[in-house]
Structure 1
Amino acid sequence: MPRENYQERLDELREDVVAMGETVCDRLDDAIEAAVTGDDELAQSVIETDHEVNETYLALEDECTELLALQQPVAGDLRLVTASFKIITDLERVADLATNVAAYGGPEGGVHDAVDVRDLGDGAREMVVDAVDAYAARDPDACREIAASDDAFDERCREASEAVVRELLKADRARDAARDGPAPTDGEALEASLDEVSQALLAVRDLERVADHAVNIAARTLYMVENDDELIY
């Protein structure tokens, strides 16, 4: 393969990874909207089109494998290909998590309102967008900022999970009061089924995992740019 064509393929690989990231972020947007509003049609669209992301992932995986096998890149080129291979894996998993999040709203309404899915979802999505932008711009400082922001996001997820548990306890107390005497006037407002609580906790867990994949992307990008593995281990 002529050297010019080889360099073009590396450039195209980087562009294709960024395009995949943009597609995945769009799917995550739709998933968050479906979870918040309970839009079953939108949720089904996210779920049913996941195969498109999988096909993109497989095509880029093949491209990375071929570049490694036929070109045997070294130094910076090798780090670009191997980092891209890892990053598309993280993006594919973000898309899988988006299908989960989309399904949590259900046809009867959105995720339990003890969880601000919009706020958490937007936060996780922003981390993925920033990570893909850092990859595109080869920005090591942005990579470190993304990793540093993860602790704060984890804390937000912890607080959200605790809020769900508190709502469950309130509902249990309301049911106990109803058995012992007249139900409190706000008993229905506090009622939360086990399924609703479970879905809310799963939504929080999956959004936290989305943020974790954003950190993984940032870590691989930092390694690609500076040969620095400080965020990987």
Structure 2
Amino acid sequence: MYMSLFSFGKELRDMRIKLGLTQNDVSTLTGINTDTLRRIEGGKVMPKFETLSYLSAIYKHDLNTLFLKYRFNDFDSLYELKNKLESKFDRDEFYTLNTELKELNSLIRNIHNSYFKDYLTQLTLLTDAVILYKDEDKYKEAIERLIKAIIITLPTFDLDNYKSLVYSPMEMRILMNIAFVLNKMNNDSMYLEILEFCIKSVDEVNEMYPKLCYNLAGAYTR
């Protein structure tokens, strides 16, 4: 597996210039140090999930997904698998998810890059949790899987401090599913609280925004 931090940094720089922003402008809008921005654009440092999530709101583009294109030779295969999973999640087609789960486990066995391995592991644990709570009514086990998934990239996460953290799209999806399981466990107040936090925390261009709108509207109706 190969990655090109330089190529990613150049594309990020080109996007910023097209938006008519200086590095100082981006720093003011996001709170990210200009030295950090300079090093990312110069291909000198591997950007963190949190940093790219902050920048995504300004650049109007999912930079975490863009970054994966520079980290994985077979990105198209992963992207296709990710889309299949999301489509099944949205359609509640949980009874066929074991097929994708096997594909994910196969991919993980052949990945040695820690960053990408974490991403795939989170997606695998999320898929496993969806099967557990939707198909097998194993709510406690599902919560355990989801928390295990989220602390891979947010080690300080727990349900008491979740509002103090900043989430990537993947982490937000995991948090949203934690809310779904809590709803199954008749914890309606926590369910609504988490969904309301999520929708306030994402920009309207975020891929999670329409999903959150749909689920929160359903929650209010019920």
TM-score (norm. length: structure 1): 0.30
Q: Which has the higher contact order (CA 8 A, sep 6+)?
A: 1
TM-score normalized by structure 2? 0.31
Structure with bigger gyration radius? 1
